[in-house]
A = this chain, B = another copy of it.
Amino acid sequence: MEQNTTSMPLTSDLPIKKQTVCIFGTGDFGRSLGQKMMQCGYSIVFGSRNPQNSKMIPQGATVLSHVEAAETSDIIIVAINRLYYDFLERLKETLHGKVLVDISNNPKMNQYPEANAEYLARLLPESKVVKAFNTVSAWALQSGALDASRQVFVCGNDSKSKERVMDIVRSLGLTPLDKGSLLAAKEIEDYPLQLFPMWKYSIYMSLGLSIVLFIYCIIREVVYNSVVNNKDYSFFIIIRIPNRICPVVALILLALVYLPGIFAAVLQLYRGTKYRRFPDWLDKWMLCRKQLGLVALAYAFVHVLYTLVIPLRYYVTWKRNSYVLQQAFNNKTDPFDTVNGWISDSYLAMGILGFSLFVLLGITSLPSVSNSVNWREFRFVQSYLGYLTLVLCTAHTLLYGGKRFLLASYPWGLPAVYIFSLIIPCIVLVMKFILIFPCLDRPLTAIRQGWERKPKDLYEPHSNLGKSSV
């Protein structure tokens, strides 16, 4: 938020020293960038094939031919399509030694084998190509509505040129981020095309699970009651059934966060080394654990809210009132059942503690928090507290079942959904419990510290770095 403001006085006070920057191309982004730069005190010269007919350029800017424009400035922003880069080869002489800022993107990822900026650097080896600005939106530059990231990724092989471009970025009120040499250009060009690539698996999986369980619950609770008992419980689909599904999906996803770690441990024990790559599916699974966990947290959050509004629901208060009235009419009071008191309180308490720890895990996965803890602390939170969360949430579900196991009715033989949610967590917890035994834990720790099972001649005396390599 402060960035918005801090950039405002800047823009109004800059026009003291006028630096001339040349922009090749009068397309949308070129014009937007030019206008923004003029507002920040630069004088802009556009280079165009047809300087006479380029009427759309921002007021106050000059339009010249490409050669003339290039001669006015040391820095040339190349705002033209990659397809026309070869045309720049003809200006080789003029562009010799100058800083070329490549701001282009491609419509698709991996469209060309080579990044646009690398291609430009290959065409004009005597110029200093810097990649920048491609992650900024023209619309955002125009409207000033830079609510999103103000980070501008910059890369280039010549550090002086990079520094100059980063100064321009800063003077526009944006934050430059040095990404190293031109080798990073490919990555920078693909960046703005992404749409949550790491989240897809987790979101699809949770949605799929939700839909399947939703249909199952409708059959078991709505259709069954409608067909067999002739009761209309269709309004269950709004809160009661979602509130059965959310905790189930949350618990399954949480268990799936820890399952790949179990697989990895088993695989390493079996192979006797950590220096062989995991199968591809396991690698991918391990990389999206954070996303799985956060989606699980979202489901748990909705579950908590759904549960807390229970006493506000008309159906629930009506049912409670009927229950009291029935006792009043029958002139008797149901006695207090201590076991019920224990179970009811325990399952709520497990749920509360599990959810609180889960929220803590979620907070530590915020980028700024996880950046401020070291590896050991991160492991402590995500591994120890994570398993504690899983234990608490599984216990919560088991105790919830505890209340119902005996009086369970299986409409059409269908068990309640919460039973499904217990399968994977129990497998994970049992496996983890087994892996904790010293006979398995000791070799696993050794493997993870670099030991390999097949004996080899190791004369290297200085191989132990005293590094906690878990």
Contact = CB atoms under 8 A, between A and B. Distances in A.
A383 to B, nearest CB: 11
Contacts of A340: 314
A149 B375 contact: yes
Contacts of A62: none
Given A49-B459, A105-B466, A149-B373, 13 more contacts: A31-B275, A55-B456, A80-B465, A147-B378, A149-B378, A196-B373, A235-B345, A239-B348, A305-B352, A309-B352, A318-B334, A318-B341, A368-B371
Contacts of A35: 275
B235 A26 contact: no
A379 B138 CA distance: 13
A28 B452 CA distance: 10
A9 B342 contact: no
How many copies the complex holds: the figure is 3
Given A283-B144, A301-B359, A465 B324 contact: no
What 10 A-B pairs are tightest by C-beta distance, nearest first? Answer: A28-B450, A27-B463, A368-B368, A148-B378, A314-B344, A80-B462, A138-B469, A170-B180, A238-B345, A311-B311
Interface string A20-48: 00000111111110010000000000001
A50 B460 contact: yes
Given A359-B301, A367-B368, A469-B139, A374 B463 contact: no
Contacts of A87: 462
Contact of A4 (B198, B232, B464): B198
Interface stretch (A10-18, A67-75, A410-418): A10-18
Contacts of A289: 145, 147
A167 interface: yes
Contact of A194 (B5, B191, B238, B314): B5
A264 interface: yes
